[in-house]
């Protein structure tokens, strides 16, 4: 029993942990790469060195997952921790590194960003400094590739840090170099050792430049408070649902002596399990009979049910929602299970996607010994409405 209480406490702490910002007086800069053959990784190490040289600044080196899980990466790259899309919001700045693939960024990095819609709609990366570096073969299309990466960062409202002419005074001009005014690259396909010392120097300068901007912005007032209201778009929930092909189910009917929701002082209280078409989706115990992917699917379905009930509570108009106040996820798990927060992200991401800024919520996740009708998940939700 004591052990279960401990697991429960850890799960709650983990649940809160996911939404918590990395709170530190230190400036935390993520160096996030995809690298198959290690060229981008070598550049990343110099970027990280430059970041660390800046006072009171820490570089954290991670990679995005490969689209093809069987793909062979170099041993050093394979060992890097894999970043989740949600954690991008937790850093003070991010340096993105990718190989040049067909004058563009790698499909793996692109695929990682395709999961960033909740961050985009909630404007979680807005005002955060970012920079781009790359590893190329011959260098064909390297500048176009950096600029196409910039398109993504601009869409997120990030502050892009270019390299300009920094480091060019020390450039060895007797051999081709990967310098660009947008970001450092390496010409891995050229003769000689690559990245060249000049390319590494430039990457280091770039890291330092990013750290300087990240550090400066961190020490100004909270960037969230300087958002201009003129860009504040009122989220149309129905447009978000349509644009993302989300079809709300019918609100499940109560199966006991209770009501699907209550409203008290403009707050709506809702509890749902993973019912789909009258049956529980992926029932059972996570960590034993239910896989993480199945649990995530059940969590997504449960949150859809919550939103369907919420729609009824709003008299059919979800645009009356003012804020998702709190979500609590209960997961039917084995005592050893610890990934509750990752499962609950399915519900949190859906909420952020549908409600935008109003979808930001406090959250707890809890492991349970069992749940009603063998559902793998139950969600308690509190929303504020007009």
Q: How far apart are CA 189 and CA 42, in angstroms?
A: 14
Nearer to ligand FMN, 141 or 249 (CB): 141
Closest by CA to 269, choosing from 331, 325, 322, 187, is 325
Identity of the residue, 102 or 238, whose beta carbon is nearer to ligand FMN in the bound complex: 102
Q: How far is the CB of 36 from ligand FMN (least distance, A)?
A: 4
Q: Which is nearer to ligand FMN, 179 or 365 (CB)?
A: 179
Does 65 help bind ligand FMN (rule: CB under 6 A)? no
Q: What are phi and psi of 131, to 5 degrees?
A: -145, 160
Burial of 64 (0-12, 13-18, 19+ CB in 10 A): buried
Q: Give the interface segment with ligand FMN, choosing from 131-139, 253-261, 294-302, 337-345 (CB under 6 A).
A: 131-139
Long-range pairs, 3-10, Cβ under 8 A, ≥24: 3/335, 4/335, 4/367, 4/369, 7/335, 7/336, 7/337, 7/338, 7/367, 8/366, 8/367, 10/338
Indicate the pairing of strand 57-63 with strand 27-33: parallel
Among 11, 32, 136, 158, binds ligand FMN (CB under 6 A): 136
Q: Look at strands 129-136 and 159-160 and give their pairing.
A: parallel
> Judged by CB, which is closer to ligand FMN: 57, or 185?
185
Region of 59-67, 137-145, 239-247, 361-369 interacting with ligand FMN (CB under 6 A)? 137-145
Q: Which residue has the tokens 């110099």?
A: 46
Residue 103 in the binding site for ligand FMN (CB under 6 A): yes
CA quadruple 109, 110, 113, 114: dihedral sign: negative
Question: In the range 180-219, which residues lie near ligand FMN by CB under 6 A?
Answer: 188
For residue 200, what is the enclosing H or E element? helix 197-218
- In angstroms, the CA 328 to CA 357 distance is 19
CA–chain centroid gap for 72, Å, is 25
Binding segment for ligand FMN (CB under 6 A), chosen from 101-109, 265-273, 288-296, 316-324, is 101-109
| Selected range binding ligand FMN among 100-108, 222-230, 347-355, 364-372, rule: CB under 6 A | 100-108
- Shortest Å, Cβ 54 to ligand FMN: 25
How many other CB atoms sit within 10 Å of the CB of residue 358?
A: 20
Cβ-based nearer residue to ligand FMN, 41 or 91? 41
**Candidate ranges 56-64, 132-140, 171-179, 296-304; the one touching ligand FMN (CB under 6 A):** 132-140
Q: Which one of 32-40, 205-213, 287-295, 310-318 is the stretch in contact with ligand FMN (CB under 6 A)?
A: 32-40
Residue 60 bridge partners (DSSP)? 30
Q: How far is the CB of 147 from ligand FMN (least distance, A)?
A: 14
Q: With respect to ligand FMN, which residue has the nearer C-beta, 3 or 70?
A: 70
Number of amino acids touching ligand FMN (CB under 6 A): 20
- Is residue 137 part of the contact set for ligand FMN (CB under 6 A)? yes
**Residue 48 binds ligand FMN (CB under 6 A):** no
Can you tell me the distance from the alpha carbon of 35 to that of 134, in angstroms, rounded to the nearest whole number? 9
Contact between 349 and ligand FMN per CB under 6 A: no
Residue from the set 11, 88, 89, 100 that interacts with ligand FMN by CB under 6 A: 100
Euclidean distance between CA atoms 123 and 110, whole angstroms: 19
Q: Which residues of 250-260 are buried (b: 16+ CB within 10 A; e: fewer)?
A: ebbeeeeeeeb
DSSP string, 287-299: TTTB-HHHHHHHH
Looking at the Cβ atoms of 35 and 301, the one nearer to ligand FMN is 35
Does 139 sit near ligand FMN (CB under 6 A)?
Answer: yes
| 99 lies in the binding site for ligand FMN (CB under 6 A) | yes
Minimal distance, residue 140 CB to ligand FMN, in Å = 4
Asked whether position 35 contacts ligand FMN by CB under 6 A, the answer is yes
Q: Do residues 339 and 291 lie in contact, with contact meaning Cβ atoms separated by under 8 Å?
A: no
Evaluate whether 297 touches 351 at the Cβ level (below 8 Å): no
> Which is nearer to ligand FMN, 100 or 377 (by Cβ)?
100
- Give the interface with ligand FMN as residue ranges (CB under 6 A): 35-40, 99-103, 135-142, 188
């Amino acid at each position: 029993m004591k052990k279960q209480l401990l697991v429960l406490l850890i799960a709650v702490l983990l649940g809160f942990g996911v939404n918590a910002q990395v709170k530190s007086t230190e400036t935390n800069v993520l160096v996030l790469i995809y690298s198959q053959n290690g060229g981008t990784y070598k550049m990343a190490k110099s970027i990280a060195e430059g970041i660390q040289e800046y006072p009171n600044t820490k570089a954290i080196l991670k990679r995005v997952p490969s689209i093809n899980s069987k793909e062979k990466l170099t041993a050093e790259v394979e060992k890097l921790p894999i970043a989740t899309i949600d954690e991008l919001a937790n850093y003070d700045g991010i340096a993105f590194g990718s190989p040049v693939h067909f004058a563009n960024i790698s499909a793996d990095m692109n695929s990682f960003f395709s999961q960033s819609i909740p961050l985009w709609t909630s404007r979680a990366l807005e005002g955060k400094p970012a920079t781009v570096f790359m590893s190329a073969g011959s260098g064909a299309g390297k500048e176009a590739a950096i600029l196409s990466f910039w398109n993504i960062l601009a869409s997120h409202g990030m502050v892009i840090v270019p390299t300009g002419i920094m480091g060019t005074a020390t450039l060895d001009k007797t051999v081709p170099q990967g310098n660009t005014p947008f970001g450092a690259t390496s010409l891995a396909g050229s003769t000689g050792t690559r990245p060249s010392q000049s390319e590494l120097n430039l990457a280091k300068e770039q890291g330092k430049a990013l750290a300087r901007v990240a550090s400066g912005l961190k020490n100004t007032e909270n960037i969230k408070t300087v958002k201009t209201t003129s860009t504040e778009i009122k989220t149309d929930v129905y447009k978000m649902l349509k644009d993302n092909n989300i079809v709300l189910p019918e609100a499940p009917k109560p199966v006991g002596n209770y009501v699907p929701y209550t409203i008290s002082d403009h707050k709506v209280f809702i509890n749902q399990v993973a019912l789909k078409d009258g049956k529980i989706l992926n029932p059972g115990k996570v960590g034993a009979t239910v896989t993480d992917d199945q649990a995530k699917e059940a969590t997504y379905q449960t949150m859809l049910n919550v939103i369907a009930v919420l729609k009824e509570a709003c008299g059919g108009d979800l645009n009356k929602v003012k804020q998702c106040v709190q979500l609590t996820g209960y997961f039917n798990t084995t005592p050893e299970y610890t990934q509750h927060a990752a499962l609950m992200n399915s519900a949190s991401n859906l909420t952020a996607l549908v409600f935008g800024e109003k979808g930001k919520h406090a959250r707890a996740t809890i492991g349970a010994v069992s749940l009603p009708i063998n559902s793998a998940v139950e969600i308690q939700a509190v929303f504020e409405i007009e």
